[in-house]
A and B are shown apart, each in its own frame.
Chain A
Amino acid sequence: MKDPTLVVAGMLTLSAGTFAFRFSGPMLRQRVAFPPWAERLLEAAAVVLLAALVATTALTEGHGFAGLARPAGVLVGGVLAWRKAPFLVVVLAAAAVTAVLRLLGVP
């Protein structure tokens, strides 16, 4: 680390800001009463965010394509989850398919 003070300042900024993000949602929900339709919209918003997170972490690495092995593993996990396989099976299958594909030389 070149300048420890500045690096620690950066880390503390990141922690304080992240905490503020995390704190603001529950605080707002406890002060403001949302109508039921808005509550449904907010819950859908969380699912949309999580789905977008799945897509970007499965398919991209930095600004590029993550390669085939990882999305293939996640896809197998997704199909298993759709067919109501147990959570353990879904997650381990995703890792196993990705690992085996890489072993076979798939990027």
Chain B
Amino acid sequence: MGSIYRTLARGTLRDIALACLAVWFIGLSYGAIAVASGFPLWFPAAQSVLVLAGASEFLFVGIVAAGGNPLAAAAAGLLVNARHVPYGLALPDITGRGWRRLLGSHVMNDESVVFALSQEDLPRKRAAYWACGLGVLLCWPAGAVLGALIGSVIGNTGAFGLDAMFPAVILALIMPALRDRVTLRAALAGAAIALAAAPFLPPGLPVLLALAALLTLPRQRPAK
């Protein structure tokens, strides 16, 4: 794992650090919201390590705090997290084997996947994936615990525009892929599908429906 530093360009490492800092900020608001909703400190701490998927954790805490059944909240969270299946399929042999595959699967998230996709070759993809994945594994729980501790001190994180950081991080990192016209068309169609579905469907499902946009890609027959 020490090879991460030798493999990645310094600029890439700095970008990963910034993405992790953004995750840390969002973790602060997550911890604060969880405690304000009546959860004990250990709950966001445990959930941030064990689930390690921000949107589903916010959703779980929100549903349970509103009096919903925790198992129904888990089902809603799983719907949000189902996108990790196609993520794993898109990344060839990124995790390694044995314990690395276990830990490597656990640190799969939007950020680590998008950094891996943005790199040119397999060694760099792997290094970026692991650097970002482990960084998020540290920053997300660290933010959640600190947020839970200082709670109400944080107040309104929206005032700092922090909610714009996550979509901006992902958008900046898929931009090189979007310069390909065919991919851009599919991505725009997918975004339109997700937006059209968002008012009506539970969270998570609109993003999965976006995969229908792959039908806009030109048919490719297997090479004979």
Query: Interface residues, chain A, CB within 8 Å of chain B?
Result: 1, 3, 6-7, 9-15, 17-19, 21-30, 35-37, 39-60, 63-64, 66, 69-70, 73-74, 77-78, 81-82, 86-88, 90-91, 93-100, 102-103
Contact = CB atoms under 8 A, between A and B. Distances in A.
A53 to B, nearest CB: 5
Given A23-B105, A74-B171, A91-B22, A48 B211 contact: yes
B8 interface: no
8 contacts: A7-B70, A11-B74, A12-B50, A24-B85, A30-B97, A44-B183, A57-B163, A78-B175
Interface stretch (B135-143, B146-154, B192-200): B192-200
Interface residues of B, number: 98
Main secondary structure of the interface of A (DSSP, over half): helix
Instruction: Point out which of A23, A54, A81, A98 has the most chain B C-beta atoms below 10 A from its C-beta.
Output: A54
A45 B82 CA distance: 13
B82 A21 contact: yes
A74 to B, nearest CB: 5
A14 B70 CA distance: 10
B172 interface: yes
A10 B190 contact: no
B164 A95 contact: yes
A54 B174 contact: yes
A37 B221 contact: yes
B59 to A, nearest CB: 9
Instruction: Point out which of B47, B93, B167 has the most chain A C-beta atoms below 10 A from its C-beta.
Output: B167
Contacts of A58: 164, 167, 171
Main secondary structure of the interface of B (DSSP, over half): helix
B84 A11 contact: no
A25 B206 contact: no
B161 A14 contact: no
B186 to A, nearest CB: 5
Contacts of A7: 43, 64, 70
A69 B46 CA distance: 33
Contacts of A69: 161, 164
Contacts of A94: 161, 164-165, 167-168
B43 A48 contact: no
B134 interface: no
Contact of A17 (B81, B110, B113, B195): B81
Contacts of A28: 88-89
A11 B71 contact: no
Given A18-B77, A36-B223, A56 B207 contact: yes
B87 A25 contact: yes
